[in-house]
């Protein structure tokens, strides 16, 4: 639960600041990554697409 909250919080920070760090996103794992990407996919599909283009192999379990 803590990991999921962290992922959501990180995504909210990026969404609020209108700036995402794809390299840091790629370091997230498991439920932390899932939560971050779920929120990003819902609110900024363009960011999600850019992430998926850069890190396609990490998306096998994602959204």
Domain span at residue 42 reads 2-61
Q: What total of structural domains would you count in the chain?
A: 1
SS3 21: coil
What interhelical angle do 2-17 and 30-43 show, nearest 10?
Answer: 30
Residue 60 pLDDT grade (very low, low, confident, very high; cuts 50, 70, 90): low
Residue 1: the pLDDT is 85
pTM listed for this prediction: 0.84
Please, which residues have CB within 8 angstroms of residue 32's CB and are 6 or more apart in sequence?
3, 4, 6, 7, 10
Question: Taking 80 as the threshold, does the pLDDT of residue 39 lie above it?
Answer: yes
- Tens of pLDDT along 10-32? 999 999 999 999 999 999 999 99
Q: What is the mean pLDDT of residues 30-40?
A: 95
Instruction: Indicate left, alpha or beta for 18 from its phi (over 0: left) and psi (-120 to 50: alpha).
Output: left
């Amino acid at each position: 639960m803590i990991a999921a909250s962290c992922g959501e919080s990180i995504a909210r920070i990026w969404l609020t600041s209108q700036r995402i760090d794809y390299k840091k996103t790629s370091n997230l794992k498991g439920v932390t990554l899932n939560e971050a990407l779920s929120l990003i996919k819902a609110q900024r599909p363009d960011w999600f697409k850019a992430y998926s283009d850069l890190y396609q192999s990490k998306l096998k379990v994602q959204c």
